[in-house]
């Protein structure tokens, strides 16, 4: 964890989501997996407003090997948002 919180918050999502535009399927997959691996750094607002909207188009990607991890990632983020919706106090813990 070499970046400060605010820097991490700003650059990680932008950097990983930029890979979703790459024509090389393994780069798009890596972006999805990186977002999932770093999800503890994102606020509920970031997930709802930045992560999920950027992941959604990948569910229609021409490559199945991209669609599957994107759908798994969306389910994971949606589960997290559902937990926060049921208990808003979890927003600071998750």
Torsion sign, CA atoms 69, 26, 54, 56: negative
pLDDT digits (tens, 9 = 90+) for 51-68: 999 999 999 999 999 999
pLDDT digits (tens, 9 = 90+) for 7-19: 777 799 999 999 9
pTM of the prediction? 0.86
Count of domains in the chain? Answer: 1
Q: Which of 41, 27, 34 is nearest to 80 (CA)?
A: 41
Q: Which of 83, 77, 37 is nearest to 54 (CA)?
A: 77
Whichever domain contains 47, its CATH number is 1.25.10
Q: What length is written for the chain? A: 94
Structural domain boundaries, residue 63: 5-92
């Amino acid at each position: 964890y070499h970046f400060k919180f605010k820097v991490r918050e700003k650059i990680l999502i932008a950097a990983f989501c930029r890979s979703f535009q790459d024509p090389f399927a393994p780069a798009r997959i890596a972006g999805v997996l990186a977002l999932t691996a770093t999800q503890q750094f994102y606020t509920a607002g970031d997930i709802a407003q930045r992560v999920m909207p950027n992941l959604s188009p990948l569910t229609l990607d021409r490559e199945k090997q991209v669609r599957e991890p994107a759908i798994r990632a969306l389910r994971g983020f949606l589960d997290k948002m559902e937990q926060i919706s049921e208990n808003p106090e979890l927003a600071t813990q998750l």
